[in-house]
Amino acid sequence: MFLIDCGEGTQVSLRRMHIHFQRIKHIFISHLHGDHFYGLIGLISSMHLLGRTKPLHVYGPPELIQIIDLQLQASLTNLLYTLDFHPTQAERAEILFEDETMIISSFPMLHRIPTTGFIFMEKPYERRIRKEMIGQLQIPVHLLPQIKSGADFVADDGTVYPNHMLTSESPSPRSYAFCSDTAYFEDIIPIIKGADLLYHETTFMNNRGVNASEKFHSTTGQAATIAVKAEVKKLIIGHYSARYDDLQPLLDEAKAVFADTELGIDGATFEI
Amino acid sequence: MFLIDCGEGTQVSLRRMHIHFQRIKHIFISHLHGDHFYGLIGLISSMHLLGRTKPLHVYGPPELIQIIDLQLQASLTNLLYTLDFHPTQAERAEILFEDETMIISSFPMLHRIPTTGFIFMEKPYERRIRKEMIGQLQIPVHLLPQIKSGADFVADDGTVYPNHMLTSESPSPRSYAFCSDTAYFEDIIPIIKGADLLYHETTFMNNRGVNASEKFHSTTGQAATIAVKAEVKKLIIGHYSARYDDLQPLLDEAKAVFADTELGIDGATFEI
């Protein structure tokens, strides 16, 4: 389970949504503006107070570990678990995490302070075995890993059964890109290309493009343009300025450019 | 307006209670356990983002200003207002604040890390002028300050009107003492003696006295005993262990020792 950014009160929100936060193993912090990390120290402390022993991995700007350590020291807290900190940089894209099933990378955003986006990419699935063929051809079990990886099967009588007869297409690997906070920044397009789901901040509506540029934030139109140019499948917008009580106009503006857009709101869940 | 301690989410609670937090001028932090200060940086930041220009005074352990500064630096934030930090110490009682009407002091508590309580004391009121006597005796206005302070009035014919004829008793000065977190600690009794209102932590019920001692917290009975020995007028208990869903038994235990006890719960207000 992964958590991206951790504003003040995140642990309260997690409880309210009945998400057991000890299951979170990796936390990614995009940048050190308070609305993105002021809840981290509280979550780290609560994990400790509730008896966590499993390691926690935190990824974020280098100063973050100083901020955490200073607060743990001030309270004379020795965490019961290992907090494994992985400093990020906002100069170039890099892989932060990799296991058998997925790769998570960071990449630079265009903001007032060093900020990274994150992209979660599944690795390609192995092809699916057609079970009925295995039985029919009496293929030995020890050959199955090779066949899943694309090998043909040669029967005892020398007959070659090509792989496409033995296996079927597996689902496409899925990907999720998180882009907050950032001004309009086309450099991210090749990195997030074709993502199944893109979260992109939309702090302002289109008529506040100057505000957006000055504050290194994006408008609805800019976020949707990134979605179009990166050919993503779906866009979630969010990080709205407090000036907007009604979010429908922001959604309308984004949809005018990229139809498959949804509002990111507290507690919303999106299946990929 | 004064704020004592500032756990995570305090700014959200203040908004929910319709308390305009820019009116807070002084914040007192008892100690550096997270539940007492993790919301401070968020409140400080929000005050800035919402355009505060009035100074803010923060009183707390010396490391607190490092923690604040490090986070402001990481976000490249230059506060629009002056943050005036006053380091506290937990070795002896000291005056933190004084103006014409009140004195606020800190005093040591007995906890695992340096911790202070706070006592808010009104200064004695001047005596109240009896308006009907002013008119009847035609006392010149410029003499009123002296008379309020206790002077007699000598009329032109030499008659001396003693002060008690010219003035009446003013109300007693009020006081509020805040004691969290602490083990049972009789050293505080002379400091909080006769307080109109005492907040004293009660993390545990009486049957967990060993837990309380080990963790430098208090039981309901201990808090109530402090209230009795200090001859305070009213006791508020709080800082309950998460193990207690029902708080009534804690209240019952405290009341068995000190009758005028009330539960401190979210959003409660107490008039002094």
Which residues touch B187 (CB under 8 Å, ≥6 apart)? B108, B110
Is B42 within 8 Å of A38 when comparing Cβ atoms? yes
Say if CB B15 and CB B39 are below 8 A apart. Answer: no
pLDDT number for residue B100: 92
Q: Which residues of B touch A (CB under 8 A)?
A: 8-9, 11-12, 32-34, 38-39, 41-42, 45, 61, 63-64, 66-67, 70-71, 73-76, 112-113
> Strands, DSSP E only, in B133-247?
153-154, 160-161, 167-168, 175-179, 197-201, 235-238
* Residue B113 pLDDT grade (very low, low, confident, very high; cuts 50, 70, 90): very high
Is B42 within 8 Å of A45 when comparing Cβ atoms? no
Percent of chain A with pLDDT strictly greater than 90: 91
- Tell me: the pLDDT tens digits for B197-224? 999 999 999 999 999 999 999 999 999 9
ipTM reported for the complex, 2 dp? 0.85
- Tell me: the pLDDT tens digits for B23-82? 999 999 999 999 999 999 999 999 999 999 999 999 999 999 999 999 999 999 999 999
DSSP code string of chain A: -EEE---TTHHHHHHHTT--GGG--EEE----SHHHHTTHHHHHHHHHHTT--S-EEEEE-THHHHHHHHHHHHTT---SS-EEEEE--SSS-EEEEE-SSEEEEEEE--SSS--EEEEEEEPPPPPEE-HHHHHHHT--GGGHHHHHTT--EE-TTS-EE-HHHHEEPPPPPPEEEEE-S----GGGHHHHTT-SEEEEE--B-GGGHHHHHHTT--BHHHHHHHHHHTT-S-EEEE---TT-S--HHHHHHHHHH-SSEEE--TT-----
Instruction: Judge if the upstream peptide bond of residue B5 is cis by omega within 30 degrees of 0.
Output: no
Is B63 within 8 Å of A70 when comparing Cβ atoms? yes
pLDDT number for residue A260: 98
DSSP alpha helices (H): ranges in B75-219?
A: 131-137, 144-148, 163-166, 189-192, 209-214
Of A61, A75, A112, the CB nearest to B113: A75
Query: Can you tell me the mean pLDDT for A54-61?
Result: 98
Tokens matching residue A233: 């499948």
Is A63 within 8 Å of B76 when comparing Cβ atoms? no
- Tell me: the pLDDT tens digits for B158-190? 999 999 999 998 888 999 999 999 999 999 999
Say if CB A156 and CB A209 are below 8 A apart. Answer: no
Q: How many CB atoms lie within 10 A of CB A157?
A: 5
- Tell me: the pLDDT tens digits for A116-172? 999 999 999 888 889 888 889 989 999 998 998 889 999 999 999 999 999 998 888
Average pLDDT, chain A: 96
pLDDT number for residue B127: 87
Interface test with A, best of B5, B6, B8, B47 (most A CBs within 10 A): B8
- Tell me: the pLDDT tens digits for A14-50? 999 999 999 999 999 999 999 999 999 999 999 999 9
Say if CB B81 and CB B53 are below 8 A apart. Answer: yes
Give the Cα separation of A172 and A125 in Å (integer): 7
Q: Which helix (H) or strand (E) holds B59?
A: strand B56-60
Tokens matching residue B175: 């006081």
Which residues touch A271 (CB under 8 Å, ≥6 apart)? none
* Residue B126 pLDDT grade (very low, low, confident, very high; cuts 50, 70, 90): confident
Cα dist. B91→A229, B106, B113, B121 in Å? 64, 10, 12, 21
Interface test with B, best of A12, A44, A75 (most B CBs within 10 A): A75
Average pLDDT, chain B: 96
Query: Can you tell me the mean pLDDT for B124-146?
Result: 89
What are residue A168's DSSP bridge partners?
A128
pLDDT number for residue A171: 87
Which chain B residues contact residue A42 at CB under 8 A? Answer: 8, 34, 38
* B183–chain A nearest CA distance, Å: 17
Cβ pairs bridging A and B (under 8 Å): 70
The single-letter code of the amino acid at A214 is E
Which chain B residues contact residue A64 at CB under 8 A? Answer: 74
* Residue A205 pLDDT grade (very low, low, confident, very high; cuts 50, 70, 90): very high
pLDDT number for residue A135: 87
pLDDT number for residue A170: 87
pLDDT number for residue A134: 86
What are residue B192's DSSP bridge partners?
none
pLDDT number for residue A240: 97
* B242–chain A nearest CA distance, Å: 11
